[in-house]
Structure 1
Amino acid sequence: MSQLRENWRVVMLVTLLILSAVALFVPGVPPGTTGSEGAATDRSTNLNYGIQLSGGTRLRAPIVGITAEGINVTEADRVQLESTLAEELDIDSIDVRVRPRGPDRQMGAVEVVTENVTQSELRTALGNNGYQPETVRDGVTAETRQEMVRSIDEKLRTSALSGASVQIVNVPGGENFVSITAPDRDREELVDILNERGVVKIYAVYPGGEGGSYVREEVLQRDQMDDISASTQSEQGNNWAVFITVRPEAADEFSQRMVDAGFGDGANCGNYNHSDIQQTEGDGCLVHTLNGEVVTARGVRADLGESFANGEFSNDPVYIVPTNGSEQANEIALNLEAGQLPAPLDLSQDSGASLDPALAERFKQNSLVTGLIAVLMVSLVVYARYKRAEVVIPMIVTALSEVFILLGFVAFVQYPLNLSHLAGFIAVIGTGVDDLIIIADEILQEGKVETGRVFQSRFRKAFWVIGAAAATTIMAMSPLMVLPLGDLSGFAIITIVGVLIGVLVTRPAYGDILRSLVLDED
């Protein structure tokens, strides 16, 4: 028992090695090791790999938009101002968002999320309505950026790209980018999903406007929908549609809208102008659009109109959107399920990268070979220095233990490894062995170690040196860790964690091992 107390640091090292082995190799430890978002999990271990070691795509693009801030606008004025600005700027109302002042915002802001409006045009339109913004700048508000992350994440989760991750990246100068990482996917798959905002609208177009014109009214919004699915309408499987279950509390309101629009007896759509969402003749149409383009325009069957009028629709409130094939049906269902993006992404300024999985696998193999070479070279240098296997072997084993514990930590927190992180591992090997050499030199080069007290004195002296060196390394790496510098941040994180493991665990353990060796010799 006394031996365990004297060598408690070695016991701690062995314990951490066992825990690291569990984190690395036991399936399901920790929970979620089937693949964290934005990473691919190695089947033989619980390690996660980023796109540089697994292949895949990273997109990094700014959000399209301009924002006017410092506007004294209230919640009561929000809807009217959005409508007025959309009309004056000749854009769709979904491209204008007013954020009124409130408890979390002393002054209001107005965002326009389209490339068709300039800063001066927005300032002029606001001035025409009695608002003088303090600033007008490129970009969107922090609220919209967070909404973008949530919307894109939901869109990717409900698509085939379920392993992707989304985050906001801030770069020096104040510009913000949305960064999307999708392992094992090519760029085209990602762009196809993100290229459009996914705005699905259902309109009723019917006569009743001034001078015999037709009225266009949006009759069913996303928050009124409960269940959404794409399927066929016939056994042959060639008549695809999107089936929408209207929420019970909204079904009566929807039915009444349809009756008020004149669809209670059914309607013949007649000749519909798909180019500008306008009716030219006929009783009226139900029009379905995706990103502003008409998907289908259809009339209303007499029996469906009757169900609106007598309230039977509420008993089975399923609304059917006919489509032109399975691909269109799945796209509409996906966009309805995930919701529209608050703003488009400017993919023309994409600064991301794409890597073929075969090339990534080669990088992984080359990284392993590089690590083995580094260990071999370090071992040769240390042996040339001491020419004593009983000193060199514990030193190399301790350094490798440090790397193994660091790998266990990375596996436990499910941190995706990229090339920059592997460079951090190699740096940890180098700095670790440097510190162990300092300990060995301080203890062995000042003559015989006759007592444990002498050993402890020399060890403390060496530990002060490596402690100061570790503090210097941590301070130097800290800016790289916190600043948005991409892969350099990963390098800094691995290096700092490795240094902490070394100072707190492996260096003291090596001291205990060396004490046993040198005192036994005497």
Structure 2
Amino acid sequence: TSQEIATALNVSAADVRVRTGNGSATVEVFPERVTVPEAANGSGNVSTAEFARALQSAGLEASTGDINEGVTEATYETAVNTLENKVSESGLAGGTVRTVQSAGERYIQIEVPNQNRSEVRELVATQGRVTTVAYFPTAGNGTPEYCEDDAWTNATSNGTVPEGYCSVTVLQSQEAFGSIQPVTQDAGVPYVPVTLTDEAAGPFVESMRRYGFADRANTSTCQFEGSRTGHCLLTVVDERVVFAAGIEGPRGGRPGLAQSFASGDFENDPSYRTSAPNVSEAQQLQIDLRAGALPARLNLDAGTSQFILPSLAQKFKTFSLVTGLVAVLAVAVTVFIRYRDPRVAAPMVVTALSEVFILLGFAAAIGLALDLSGAAAATTIVAMSPLAVLSLGDLQGFAIVTIVGVLIGVLITRPAYGNVLRRLVTEG
């Protein structure tokens, strides 16, 4: 159904989402946004009337009155999960992603500590849709029906595609990959080792055989960057070709991919290497493969971004230190007034400072950013075991810091304080 709707709207099938259940279907289209009919002249826009006709042509009962602007709750959840994966896979510790409401509009809020605005914006600006496209020559006159016009419409523009060549998307998305390994290099060329899922391996091999990639004569013939000729597998990210490579032939006594396609061995071990022009793009490719693709591009211009200057953050550190010392001294004064003995108050100050020092050291060791929830945990030191087990977003980080603080206090600092106090009092 999604392919029928995409064809009727002249958009990519990846820009159409269909969810069914309870005898009904929810269909979303993301070329840009669904607009009123008179605003549907821009590139990528789909009018409500066009959308309704496309739904009807796919056998769905729908009218313009059934169509609403915006995205569904499921799409918001998918976007938040994907962005969380992007932040996590890129190694940015302490980042949070959530939806917020402002002035009646719903936004996705992304917070990443210790990173500048441009780096975070670059990370989330792209949709991150990764496809694999087979590029190959065709025999005879005319273009076969299975050839695609938009497999990589925004590819590098240098050169032209020769007549008699065809592009077909053989892996539609990251969901085809079951395993993505870290970036590795071979003879200076960075690549990402990947393994297809069992569901994707069979159709992929069939496509490779159908389009001539299982023929040894077509191995290592790819000249995509130069003459745009040969049998090439294109790695395409957001419709841009990031790398083109031919099918590897036999090497070092090992059968190549072409032979494994022909013999069927590839289905038993559907692993190969997808390359990139440099390490930076290979790492970004790995992030996109592991994180998945956003259901639609983010409209960063419609939101706002804030950045705390390092100089201002340095002032926060100073003020936090002063506040912490004042709090410790206030506790010590209170204890002194209660017991009237400096031998009780002095160890209290040392114990409190040690507890905070150990707690901050733990947070730094695991890369845990102390935001408001972490600071509250360091201050209150209240056991929150249930929250540490349940996946409740920021509350989980709050609970972890709190529990560690309790353990440090109960098992290390408080017993030490008791021993010091006992010795001072008994010796006095």
Q: Output the TM-score relative to the length of structure 1.
A: 0.51
- Quote how far apart the aligned CAs of 1:137 are: 4.5
- Quote how far apart the aligned CAs of 1:112 are: 2.9
8 Å contact from structure 1 (residues 95, 113) kept in 2? yes
- Quote how far apart the aligned CAs of 1:125 are: 1.2
Higher percent of residues as helix: 1
Partners in 1 of 2:100 and 2:140 — Cα distance?
Answer: 48
Q: 1:166 aligned to 2:97?
A: yes
Q: 1:294 aligned to 2:241?
A: yes
Select the residue among 173, 182, 186 that pairs with 2:116: 186
Other structure's SS at 1:148 match: helix
Partners in 1 of 2:76 and 2:241 — Cα distance?
Answer: 29
8 Å contact from structure 1 (residues 196, 344) kept in 2? yes
Deviations 1:263-303 (A, max 9, x none): 121426555479xxxxx864532111111111122332444
Partners in 2 of 1:146 and 1:114 — Cα distance?
Answer: 19
Select the residue among 132, 143, 161 that pairs with 2:63: 132
Select the residue among 223, 231, 234 that pairs with 2:184: 231
- Quote how far apart the aligned CAs of 1:371 are: 9.1
Q: 1:326 aligned to 2:279?
A: yes
5+ residue gaps, structure 2, are 38-45, 57-61, 144-163, 251-256, 330-336, 339-351, 361-367, 380-428
8 Å contact from structure 1 (residues 119, 137) kept in 2? no
Q: 1:92 aligned to 2:24?
A: no
- Quote how far apart the aligned CAs of 1:154 are: 1.1
Aligned pair in 2 of structure 1 residues 247, 362: CA closer, same or farther (>3 Å)?
same
8 Å contact from structure 1 (residues 209, 215) kept in 2? no
1:352 is matched with which residue? 305
- Quote how far apart the aligned CAs of 1:198 are: 1.1
Partners in 1 of 2:327 and 2:268 — Cα distance?
Answer: 72
2:168 is matched with which residue? 217
8 Å contact from structure 1 (residues 252, 311) kept in 2? no
Aligned pair in 2 of structure 1 residues 281, 358: CA closer, same or farther (>3 Å)?
closer
8 Å contact from structure 2 (residues 2, 13) kept in 1? no
Other structure's SS at 1:351 match: coil
2:78 is matched with which residue? 147
- Quote how far apart the aligned CAs of 1:158 are: 1.1
- Quote how far apart the aligned CAs of 1:151 are: 0.7
- Quote how far apart the aligned CAs of 1:96 are: 2.5
Question: Which is higher, the Rg of structure 1 or of structure 2?
Answer: 1
Other structure's SS at 2:142 match: helix
8 Å contact from structure 1 (residues 165, 182) kept in 2? yes
Aligned pair in 2 of structure 1 residues 108, 119: CA closer, same or farther (>3 Å)?
farther
8 Å contact from structure 2 (residues 100, 109) kept in 1? yes
Deviations 1:105-150 (A, max 9, x none): x754432324376343331212333331325544211110000111
Aligned pair in 2 of structure 1 residues 367, 308: CA closer, same or farther (>3 Å)?
closer
Partners in 1 of 2:142 and 2:259 — Cα distance?
Answer: 29
The count of corresponding residues between Structure 1 and Structure 2 is 314
1:335 is matched with which residue? 288
8 Å contact from structure 2 (residues 224, 230) kept in 1? no
Q: 1:122 aligned to 2:72?
A: no
8 Å contact from structure 2 (residues 190, 278) kept in 1? yes
Query: Whose RCO is larger (CA < 8 A, sep 6+)?
Result: 1
Other structure's SS at 1:324 match: coil
1:260 is matched with which residue? 210
Partners in 2 of 1:293 and 1:343 — Cα distance?
Answer: 16
Q: 1:241 aligned to 2:191?
A: yes
Q: 1:195 aligned to 2:110?
A: no
8 Å contact from structure 2 (residues 179, 196) kept in 1? yes
Aligned pair in 2 of structure 1 residues 198, 417: CA closer, same or farther (>3 Å)?
closer
Other structure's SS at 1:262 match: coil
Partners in 2 of 1:136 and 1:210 — Cα distance?
Answer: 43
Percent identical residues:
30
5+ residue gaps, structure 1, are 1-76, 275-279, 377-388, 391-403, 426-522
What amino acid is the match of 1:197?
Q
Other structure's SS at 2:167 match: strand
What amino acid is the match of 1:300?
I
- Quote how far apart the aligned CAs of 1:169 are: 0.7
What amino acid is the match of 2:14?
I
Other structure's SS at 1:289 match: strand
Select between 299-308 and 337-346 the one with higher mean Cα deviation: 299-308
8 Å contact from structure 1 (residues 233, 240) kept in 2? yes
Partners in 2 of 1:202 and 1:293 — Cα distance?
Answer: 11
Deviations 1:360-392 (A, max 9, x none): 24135336757999999xxxxxxxxxxxx99xx
Deviations 1:448-484 (A, max 9, x none): xxxxxxxxxxxxxxxxxxxxxxxxxxxxxxxxxxxxx
- Quote how far apart the aligned CAs of 1:418 are: 4.5
- Quote how far apart the aligned CAs of 1:358 are: 4.3
Q: 1:177 aligned to 2:107?
A: yes
What amino acid is the match of 2:15?
D
Aligned pair in 2 of structure 1 residues 200, 209: CA closer, same or farther (>3 Å)?
farther
What amino acid is the match of 2:302?
Q
- Quote how far apart the aligned CAs of 1:155 are: 1.3
1:54 is matched with which residue? none
Other structure's SS at 2:215 match: coil
Mapping 1:424-443, distance limit 5 Å: none
Aligned pair in 2 of structure 1 residues 252, 137: CA closer, same or farther (>3 Å)?
closer
- Quote how far apart the aligned CAs of 1:347 are: 1.5
- Quote how far apart the aligned CAs of 1:415 are: 11
8 Å contact from structure 2 (residues 95, 111) kept in 1? yes
Q: Output the TM-score relative to the length of structure 2.
A: 0.61
8 Å contact from structure 2 (residues 178, 196) kept in 1? yes
8 Å contact from structure 2 (residues 34, 69) kept in 1? no
- Quote how far apart the aligned CAs of 1:255 are: 2.1
1:441 is matched with which residue? none
Deviations 1:11-40 (A, max 9, x none): xxxxxxxxxxxxxxxxxxxxxxxxxxxxxx
Aligned pair in 2 of structure 1 residues 322, 123: CA closer, same or farther (>3 Å)?
same
- Quote how far apart the aligned CAs of 1:328 are: 1.1
Mapping 1:389-468, distance limit 5 Å: 417-418=371-372
Other structure's SS at 1:354 match: coil
1:11 is matched with which residue? none
Partners in 2 of 1:128 and 1:252 — Cα distance?
Answer: 35
Partners in 2 of 1:283 and 1:366 — Cα distance?
Answer: 65
- Quote how far apart the aligned CAs of 1:205 are: 2.1
Select between 330-339 and 354-363 the one with higher mean Cα deviation: 354-363
8 Å contact from structure 1 (residues 256, 309) kept in 2? no
1:363 is matched with which residue? 316
What amino acid is the match of 1:161?
L
- Quote how far apart the aligned CAs of 1:201 are: 0.9
- Quote how far apart the aligned CAs of 1:318 are: 2.1
